[in-house]
Structure 1
Amino acid sequence: MNVSSWLVTLNGDEITLYLIAASAMMLACLGLVFYYLRRARLIEDMPTSRIRSAAQGYVELIGTVSRSEMAEMVAPLSGIPCVWFDYKVQRYRRAGKSGHWHTITQGTSKQCFQIDDGTGTCSVNPQGAEVITEHSRTWHGDSEMPRYRVRNNNPILRVLRGHRYRYIEKFIYIHDVVYALGHFQSSGGGRQIPSHHELMGAVIREWKQNYQQLLQRFDSNNKGEIDLQEWEQVRQAASKEAEIRHRRLSNMPTTYTLSNTTNKRHPFIISTHSQRKLSEKFRCYAVVSLITSLFSGYFLIILADKL
């Protein structure tokens, strides 16, 4: 049955429903066109920062995943060593003559990993990120958790063995080159250290929480309270302690982190694809969305003529 013959069989209410659906599809796809084009332009126009000299805020980094002091991570389904994983277990369910894959469990790792660009090492917190990786694995089995951590993509064997479960995993490996857009922040190395006055006030507040110990240390006349002269001694001691803490904070090494953004116009993206390939991918998505929108518009015109 061709489209014209199918349209003849529709009544007015059915045509109206298809009109609404086609309109929604056309508008949604048009929105996706601009969405993907904005992503592509952002990736193309954003200058790449170096970790050691990157400004605070939204930046673009490119670095190689390096080993960290954290325990080695393995993907839960395949047992493959990695620094990031996303997994999904699906079960095939039949509904009449057709069937579909239904997700029964899924998860994503939240552990930070490190990237190095030659100028410094940055800790990447993947929570909330849109991760686009070229590393993935799909295989099938007959139980909710895979018994064998190997690929089995032969459709004939799947039918014969009754493999009703599908396992999907995505990874980022050690030594992968990662492209990332996110919120960059550095701490330590003399940055964001409270002033001497603020540190001194913090020391005095800490000492006041244990007032009996404060009396034992500074109540020289044993009156059970600290007079004005003794309070001056407290302030002098707190000033010396504040200087010690300031030196300790100043000597802390600089640490760099990349994490999720608070601005919705600034996406948090982590990808193993190169900057150029990632931009091309988003432009291809925009073209596909535009074509789908045009087809929906054409279908919308045909339906409108039938009313």
Structure 2
Amino acid sequence: MLLDTSALELHEVVISLGISCGVVLAGFWLGFRFLKRYRLIADTPTARVQSAHQGYVELQGQALPSPNGVLHSPLTGRECVWYHYKVEREKGSGKNRRWVCEREGTSDEWFQLDDRSGVCQIDPEGAEVKASVRKRWHGHTPSPTGEPPAHRPGFRFNVSFGARRYRYQEELILEYESVYALGRFQSLGGGLDQLDHSKETGEIIRQWKGNYPQLLARFDSNRNGQLDPDEWQQVQSQARDEILQRQKELQTMPTVHVLMRPDESDQPYLLSTYDEEKLARRYRWFAYGSFAALLIASWVAGEMLQAL
């Protein structure tokens, strides 16, 4: 036994064993999760927007705002194309001191990625975002006043003098920043969308039947209060004509490329302003750290088991 457990009481050994087992499970899950992300980033070739295949792809380009214009971050008002913020308040004192989230928010406005071959619309909903523009600072008001303090290396005192303290956090993707994206790519319009005529026709008829008096007013030509077989044929014919018109309209629309969260749960949706090599390296070290924690926790759990 390399770990001296003689000074520990039984309940302390049991608690230590439970914590160690929890770390083992977390390290196992996180290690393989980070390792999978590393392999996906390292092994997936970068596609071009103009020629990317439909499905799971990797893109790199410049971030541009949506046609609605740039966003402004809620805490600092800084112009950006995406933001995440959090405001926390310090509660309690001494050993009971903790940070409690007061409010938090993430922008859901789409932005664009331009890789010079084309422009892709980015839907940030459900994405795991790693932004290099990230700041955390403190203050004494629910909303920060002024700009966050400039980063200064070295030791910094964190004194509140008894006043209520707040902690602010902000992550941004700025306009024209380089963006790495890994997600589900889909091209819409430009004659690429083919409607399922049978399915769409049935859906239109179901919508019409939802307002049956109006349906009778349109197609009950003999006014007998019901739709006869020949009148039902007219209903189906009119619905098919509407679907054909929709298909023609889709064919005249310009092609729009969209990147969004994959349908498959095992395919992560990643957005990052770190370059591909740096992002892959971060996930690789995260995986190494998780596996190292797993090994250490396994050793501690073994020592605790021997102490029981």
If the length of structure 1 is used for normalisation, what is the TM-score? 0.81
Q: Distance in 2 between matches of 1:180 and 1:214?
A: 51
- Closer, same or farther in 2 for the Cα pair 1:200/1:35, shift >3 Å? closer
Aligned residue number for residue 34 of structure 2 = 36
Q: Distance in 1 between matches of 2:234 and 2:305?
A: 88
Question: What is the CA-CA distance between 1:83 and the residue it aligns to?
Answer: 0.9
* Structure 1 residues not aligned, in runs of 5+: none
Alignment of 1:3-18 (within 5 A): 4=4, 7-18=5-16
2:299 alignment partner, SS class: helix
Q: Which residue of 121, 124, 127 maps to 2:125?
A: 127
Q: Is the 8 A contact 2:193 2:250 kept in 1?
A: no
1:278 alignment partner, SS class: helix
**Cα deviations across residues 18-42 of structure 1 (Å, max 9, x unaligned)?**
1122122123213322221111011
Q: Which residue of 44, 47, 50 maps to 1:46?
A: 44
1:295 alignment partner, SS class: helix
Q: Which residue of 139, 142, 164 maps to 1:141?
A: 139
- Closer, same or farther in 2 for the Cα pair 1:18/1:81, shift >3 Å? same
Q: Is the 8 A contact 1:136 1:171 kept in 2?
A: yes
Alignment of 1:103-182 (within 5 A): 103-151=101-149, 155-156=156-157, 158-160=159-161, 162=163, 164-182=165-183
| Alignment-mate amino acid for residue 58 of structure 1 | Y
Q: Which residue of 98, 101, 109 maps to 1:100?
A: 98
Q: Is the 8 A contact 2:64 2:81 kept in 1?
A: no
**CA-atom RMSD in angstroms:** 3.4
Q: Is the 8 A contact 1:75 1:82 kept in 2?
A: yes
Q: Distance in 2 between matches of 1:277 and 1:156?
A: 31
Aligned residue number for residue 279 of structure 1 = 280
Percentage of identical aligned residues: 34
| Segment of structure 1 superposing worse, 53-62 or 251-260 | 53-62
Q: Distance in 1 between matches of 2:76 and 2:233?
A: 66
Aligned residue number for residue 86 of structure 2 = 88
| Segment of structure 1 superposing worse, 288-297 or 36-45 | 288-297
Q: Distance in 2 between matches of 1:169 and 1:191?
A: 39
| Alignment-mate amino acid for residue 84 of structure 1 | W
| Alignment-mate amino acid for residue 77 of structure 1 | L
Question: What is the CA-CA distance between 1:235 and the residue it aligns to?
Answer: 9.8
* Structure 2 residues not aligned, in runs of 5+: none
If the length of structure 2 is used for normalisation, what is the TM-score? 0.81
| Matched pairs, number | 297
**Cα deviations across residues 77-136 of structure 1 (Å, max 9, x unaligned)?**
111111111101111223434633222211111111111111211111111110011111
| Alignment-mate amino acid for residue 14 of structure 1 | E
Question: What is the CA-CA distance between 1:224 and the residue it aligns to?
Answer: 6.3
Q: Is the 8 A contact 2:219 2:231 kept in 1?
A: no
Q: Distance in 2 between matches of 1:81 and 1:19?
A: 49
Question: What is the CA-CA distance between 1:306 and the residue it aligns to?
Answer: 2.6
Q: Distance in 2 between matches of 1:293 and 1:266?
A: 24
Q: Distance in 2 between matches of 1:188 and 1:264?
A: 27
Q: Distance in 2 between matches of 1:51 and 1:210?
A: 45
Q: Is the 8 A contact 1:84 1:173 kept in 2?
A: yes
1:34 alignment partner, SS class: helix
Q: Which structure: larger Rg?
A: 1
Aligned residue number for residue 269 of structure 1 = 270
